């Protein structure tokens, strides 16, 4: 059996088209342009690429894109002042502070200074609490993208056994909360889990968010399971260049799974698409308008 490949790149295009449709309606019918502000502190090359892509895609769907690029010597006081200004700015509906921040800045303090209603990354402690208690919240983009792909694949997820490998605050834990919200029976595995292989073999839905290249082989995958590979790992090739691989050994897993996301081209492209979706959702909520269907958890 060879698994169906879940094309995250194509799915992200449909999400962005939906977002663009909602943006066009908001502009035409309500005279409102959703606005996203991205704050980058320092010169981290990977972060610069992410921020550039976010800005480009924000404009492509018709939203206002504002970028604040600050020196890596920026004080916490100045950064908090900027966030306070953005919190008060009616043109801005979403605020994202690109992580990681330089060491002298307290990430938790900075993230928790964002207005939770504008926290489109869903990392503010209020949004974490709302998600954990099954209330309306801003949902972290990567797990939201995974959930959208799983719903598309399965329709209802109710009663399925889901195993999430990884318990980080940005992927593993919110992913588990979302799967629980969709009535899966959820197991969260991590570095101390005993017999991880056996735990994984029980999964109808296996989400890998570890950051270890190809650590999950095909014989850990239940035949017919849906595998969502969040991992993005760069490994050396024989020619001295590098390539991206996930946390799952794709070559062996694709022979066993029912459906699987590739790396690259799976979860990755969905993350920015969900950031745009969250910004439209935040804009609708801020203006008391109905939320866009199919773009929220
Ligand atoms: P973290 O490093 O924060 O968390 C990794 C998790 O994996 C931890 O909970 C850790 O367990 C667990 N883990 C580590 N080693 C093992 C092991 N041998 N067996 C079982 N569990 C293990 O990573 P993130 O959650 O931030 O990211 C995970 C991956 O997803 C990375 O490759 C990252 O690049 C990628 N990513 C991709 C995104 C996308 O857009 N596609 C977005 C965000 C992340 P413990 O807690 O016990 O240490």
Q: What is the per-residue pLDDT across 192-247, written as a single tens digit (0 to 9) for each?
A: 999 999 999 999 999 999 999 999 999 999 999 999 999 999 999 999 999 999 99
Q: pTM here?
A: 0.97
Q: Is 229 a catalytic residue?
A: no
Choosing from 57, 98, 177, 214, which is the catalytic residue? 98
In angstroms, the CA 240 to CA 263 distance is 20
Choosing from 57, 115, 118, 121, which is the catalytic residue? 121
**pLDDT attached to residue 82:** 98
Q: Which of 133, 192, 143 is nearest to 169 (CA)?
A: 143
Q: In Å, how far are 52, 90, 161, 195, 201 from 4, measured between CA atoms?
A: 32, 44, 19, 27, 19
C-beta of 210 in contact with ligand 1 (< 6 A): yes
C-beta of 172 in contact with ligand 1 (< 6 A): yes
C-beta of 265 in contact with ligand 1 (< 6 A): no
Q: In Å, how far are 104, 229, 249, 264, 267 from 217, measured between CA atoms?
A: 40, 12, 5, 18, 19
Sign of the alpha-carbon torsion through 42, 47, 51, 53: positive
**pLDDT attached to residue 233:** 97
C-beta of 231 in contact with ligand 1 (< 6 A): yes
- Is residue 164 within 8 Å of residue 175, measured between CB atoms? yes
Q: Which residue has its alpha carbon closest to ligand 1 atom 48? A: 191
Low-confidence ranges of the chain (pLDDT < 70): none
Cα 258 to chain centroid distance, Å, stands at: 23
**pLDDT attached to residue 22:** 97
């Amino acid at each position: 059996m060879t698994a169906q490949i879940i094309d995250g790149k194509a799915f992200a295009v449909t999400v962005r088209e939906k977002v663009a449709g909602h943006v066009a309606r908001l502009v035409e019918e309500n005279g409102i342009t959703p606005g996203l502000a991205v704050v980058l502190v320092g010169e981290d090359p990977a972060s610069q690429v992410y921020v550039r892509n976010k800005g480009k895609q924000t404009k492509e769907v018709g939203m206002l894109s504002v970028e604040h690029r600050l020196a890596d010597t920026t004080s916490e006081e100045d950064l908090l002042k900027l966030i306070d200004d953005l919190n008060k700015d009616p043109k801005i509906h979403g605020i994202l502070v690109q992580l990681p921040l330089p060491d002298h800045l307290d990430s938790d303090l900075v993230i928790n200074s964002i207005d939770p209603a504008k926290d489109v990354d869903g990392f503010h402690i209020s949004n974490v609490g709302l998600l954990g208690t099954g209330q309306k919240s801003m949902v972290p983009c990567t797990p939201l993208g995974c959930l959208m792909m799983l719903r598309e694949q399965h329709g209802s997820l109710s009663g399925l056994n889901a195993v999430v490998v990884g318990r980080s605050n940005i992927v593993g834990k919110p992913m588990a909360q979302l799967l629980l919200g969709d009535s899966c029976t959820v197991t969260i595995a991590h570095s101390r889990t005993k017999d991880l292989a056996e735990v994984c073999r029980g999964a109808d839905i296996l989400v890998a968010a570890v950051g270890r290249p190809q650590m999950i082989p095909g014989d850990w995958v239940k035949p017919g399971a849906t595998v969502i590979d969040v991992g993005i790992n760069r490994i050396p090739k024989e020619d001295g260049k590098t390539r991206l691989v996930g946390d799952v050994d794709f070559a062996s897993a694709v022979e066993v799974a029912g459906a699987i996301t590739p790396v690259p081209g799976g979860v990755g492209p969905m993350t920015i698409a969900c950031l745009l979706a969250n910004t439209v959702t935040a804009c609708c909520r801020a203006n008391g308008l109905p939320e866009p269907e199919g773009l929220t958890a």
